Amino acid sequence: MALNVIMMGPPGAGKGTQAGRFARDRALLKISTGDILREAVAAGTELGLQAKAIMDRGELVGDDVMIGIVRERLDRDDARAGFVLDGFPRTVAQAKALDGIMAGRDPLIVVDIPVPVAEIVRRLASRMVCENCGTNAVPGATACAKCGGRLVQRTDDNEAVVRERLAVYERQSHPLVDFYRTRPTFRSIDGAQTPDHVAADLAAAIEAAGAALGGRA
């Protein structure tokens, strides 16, 4: 049984870090929509060129283009054995499209990682990222662990911008959480804990969701 996991949570919840950690522990493919979007743009694919034109206008990439890029990535052979998906879906329309993409494959396990607003603001105010590759830095690091690049603070990590991003996320996420909540493979874990505790709860939640399918995660 392939292990197909979606990580959900607000900006600053640590879902990207947890997705990477879980994927490494289980030898799974981690698929970040930010990464595959940049990859499609760099490769000059038809969808990548569409996405570049949209971003060059300062607009957000819409559902149709993102769905197409994710479809192309999940159709590759290396995704057949399972994956951890970070950053998609963000809307109910994307979630419905993902169900169509997954038709005939093993079910999705969906994990939501909620974190209180005050804790997210505190985290993001001190967050550093690599100016070269965009990787989030481990607290206390002096250089990027991935490429050795210089660490900087994101310009959109000030409190006012963070609160607006969280408000947008809340408007989008409530319908999305409701869309998945009734599924036997949906789990929610406390993201306000230490990273190690979140990782332990995440592994246990995915194990339980796999058991609910009669399989083994």
Q: How many helices (DSSP H) and strands (DSSP E) are in the chain?
A: 8, 7
Model-level pTM? 0.80
Q: Using CA atoms, how far apart are residues 29 and 22, in angstroms rounded to an integer?
A: 10
Residue 166 to residues 105, 142, 153, Cα–Cα distance (Å): 33, 28, 18
Instruction: In whole angstroms, give the CA distance from residue 26 to residue 188.
Output: 20
Chunked into runs of 10 residues, the chain (217 residues) has average pLDDT values of 92 89 94 88 87 81 89 93 93 95 94 92 82 81 90 78 84 88 95 94 94 65
CATH number assigned to the domain with residue range 3-115+181-212, chosen from the 4 options 3.40.50.720, 3.40.190.80, 3.40.50.300, 3.20.20.240: 3.40.50.300
Annotated catalytic residues are 15, 90, 127, 154, 165
- With residue 50 as reference, give the H or E element that holds it: helix 46-56
Distance between alpha carbon 3 and the CA centroid of its chain, in Å?
A: 16
SS3 195: helix
Using DSSP's 3-state secondary structure scheme, residue 157 falls into coil
Q: Which residue is it, tokens 């994307």?
A: 94
Residue 65 structure tokens: 């283009």
pLDDT tens-digit profile of 152-191?
Answer: 987 767 778 888 888 888 887 889 999 999 999 999 999 9
